[in-house]
Structure 1
Amino acid sequence: MSARDRLRIAIQKSGRLSDASLDLLARCGLTFRRSRDKLFCFGETLAVDLLLVRDDDVPNMIAEGVCDLGIVGRNVLDEQFLAAGCAGQPAGFRELRALGFGRCRLALAVPQEFQYVEPAQLGGKRIATTYPNLLAKWLERAGVDAGIVSLSGSVEIAPRLGTADFICDLVSSGATLAANQLKEAAVVLESEAVLAAGATLPGDERGELIDMLLRRIDGVIQVRASKLVMWHSPRSALEEITRLLPNGPRPTVTSIEGLENEVAVQAICNEAITWQHLEDMKRAGARQMLVLPVEQMLA
């Protein structure tokens, strides 16, 4: 392949999504060799290279064709998508897959003494945020006319400085809000890391690589909570035991030599298996139960 036939993926060079993005790609079987400036990673196992950039730059790099895919927070992607629409331009990028990590929420926060009940209370107030387009969309849907104060950082101190009455910012644990005498009042957007792509996917070798990568990503996401459950039981108890498992998966059943009514069973569960599940299965007749992690899965 020529250099540009290689698939390029932009990810955050540092921050809360960086390590998790690299881990996801490693679990998909990709290994990389970093350049000396640590801004480019050459793919060693597949023709897939990484660009390490600021998360705010990922959507535009996709739109401009500098890279083919990117891993970025939905909050960043949707904010820039709305910004492009406000400017009368096509965004040139879209969400391709939710990736299940980096979960947080863009939330409205108010002073702790303020008794928030409904969005109508925001009318005529000033709200500071680094996500003015997402906030404006939410306010429009709620039918509220409020002032939006766009800030590039330190949003949480705006009420204390008198530059805004409330804020709209990313919230994870809520500790930062509490430290600034604020409390969460309403969720504007549920966010997580997403795989972003251009408006149209490449029709050459890169498109084939994207299809393969998506299959692997789907497999990685599926096995995160998946467990292999194994047990022995009477054949007559099999239906009841299986029904106790999350989602009631169809098990693989093997006869045990020399024991006519005894079977060895294994089933893949795509949800967590708790101690209560095992206790219930034991009462239904299961024995010698094992719960094992699933490392890889490809449908």
Structure 2
Amino acid sequence: MEKLRIALQKKGRLHDDSMKLLKEAGIKFNIGSGKLVAQSPSFPIEVLFLRDDDIPQTIADGVADLGVVGENEVAEKDFDIAVAKRLGFSKCRISLAIPKSEEYTGKKHFQNKKIATSYPVILQKYFDKEGIDADIHEITGSVEIAPGIGLADGIFDIVSSGSTLVANSLKEVEVVMQSEALLVKADNLSTEKQALLDELLFRLNAVMTANSNKYILLNAPNDKVDEIVSILPGMKSPTVLPLAEEGWSSIHSVISEKKFWEIIGKLKENGAEGIITFPIEKMIL
């Protein structure tokens, strides 16, 4: 029987988030100390642990069938690889930043400036699009220190919280791209491997849908049930059950995490009481 081979970052936040998602999908690996290849006893898949920036090449060359990699790395390596699924974690942005003491008047600020970055391909495409002629200085590692030591006039780098920029007296002035973790795949998977990928995607969808929703249970007076049901559509429609106390019902449904507090407020306004929410482990639509 064929196995899928998936490339994952060997350490860091992307590694941790990827392993957590796979574990929630019922896929665990036998990982020994320092191992770069591991097998799963619960699914026909093996994992290669690599540097994040090596994963696009590994997929493009057909060494691995799948990979979890930052969208920024896919854009920087510029290989023609397909995105199987956007995973929604490890979100960040790639931005231009300058010393906070400088006044910023617009994108032309970067004309004829020296910009330090680990993402020269993305930055060059952006400057070409904007008609900006700048000196792109490629460095690895601590890009944010470049202006402070006189190596560059500004930087182009990953920004999450922005605390690193503040610590180095820099300010973010232009967001060039948003990035998140992607599940990417090689071209021309065999029929058997494509079937395994379909099963993997089915599991991931069930986990990710569950993580973005909550199960809700509440009590409501019967004369308010219609109004509350209109607020809680659920997957089909909410479940309404009579309570032992006459004139009251128990309503069960699923709500989006993003709209949670907005919906809770509306429920309370319409007479809902005893509102309880639960996390959902898996959700299959």
CA deviations over 1:199-250 (Å, ceiling 9, x no partner) = x2513211111011112112222222310011222344223224445x8765
What displacement does 1:12 show? 0.5
Q: Which moved more, 1:274-283 or 1:114-123?
A: 274-283
Letter in 2 for 1:292: F
Distance of 2:32 and 2:234 partners within structure 1:
48
| Residue-pair matches, total | 285
Query: What is the deviation of 1:274?
Result: 4.8
Gaps of 5+ in 1: 82-90
**What letter is aligned with 1:231?**
L
The corresponding residue for 2:59 is 62
The equivalent of 2:166 in structure 1 is 178
Partner residue of 2:104? 116
2:189 alignment counterpart: 202
Q: Is the 8 A contact 1:227 1:272 kept in 2?
A: no
Q: Give the letter aligned to residue 62 of structure 2.
A: G
Give the deviation of 1:270 after TM superposition. 2.0
Counterparts in 2 of 1:144 and 1:243: CA distance versus 1, 3 Å: farther
* Residue of structure 2 equivalent to 1:295: 281
Matches within 5 A, 1:75-154: 75-81=72-78, 91-154=79-142
Deviation at 1:277, TM superposition (A): 3.9
One-letter code of the match for 1:75? N
- Residue 227 of structure 1 contacts residue 273 of structure 1 at CA under 8 Å; is this kept in 2? no
Q: 1-side partners of 2:276 and 2:224: how far apart?
A: 17
- Aligned Cα root-mean-square deviation (Å): 2.1
- Listed as ranges, the matches of 1:15-54 within 5 Å are 15-35=12-32, 37-54=34-51
Alpha-carbon separation, structure 2, partners of 1:60 and 1:178:
34
Within 1, Cα distance between the matches of 2:210 and 2:97? 35
The equivalent of 2:269 in structure 1 is: 283
1 CA distance for matches of 2:238 and 2:217? Answer: 9
Counterpart CA distance in 2 for 1:184 and 1:149 is 18
Residue of structure 2 aligned with 1:239, choices 226, 231, 235: 226
Distance (Å, rounded) in 1 between the aligned partners of 2:220 and 2:15: 45
Point out the more displaced range, 99-108 or 227-236: 227-236
* Residue among 204, 216, 241 paired with 2:203: 216
1: CA distance, partners of 2:177 / 2:55: 19
Identity %: 38
* CA deviation profile, 1:152-184 (whole Å, cap 9, x unmatched): 222112112222111001111111111111111
Q: Is the 8 A contact 1:127 1:164 kept in 2?
A: yes
Distance 1:276 1:78, change over 3 A: closer
Give secondary structure in 1 for the equivalent of 2:13: coil
| CA distance, structure 1, for counterparts of residue 113 and residue 132 of structure 2 | 10
Amino acid at match of 2:27: L
The alpha-carbon deviation at position 127 of structure 1 amounts to 0.8
C-alpha deviation, 1:141, in angstroms:
2.1
Q: SS in structure 1 opposite 2:122?
A: helix
CA contact (8 A) 2:37 2:46 kept: yes
Residues 63-72 or 215-224, more deviating: 215-224
Rounded Cα–Cα distance in structure 1 between residues aligned with 2:259 and 2:88: 19
2:147 partner SS: helix
Is 1:71–2:68 an aligned residue pair? Answer: yes
Moved more, 47-56 or 143-152: 143-152
Moved over 6 A (4+): 257-260
Instruction: Find the aligned partners of 2:241 and 2:13 in 1 and give their Cα distance.
Output: 49
CA distance in 2, matches of 1:79, 1:275: 38
Shift of 1:110: 0.3
**Partner residue of 2:240?**
254
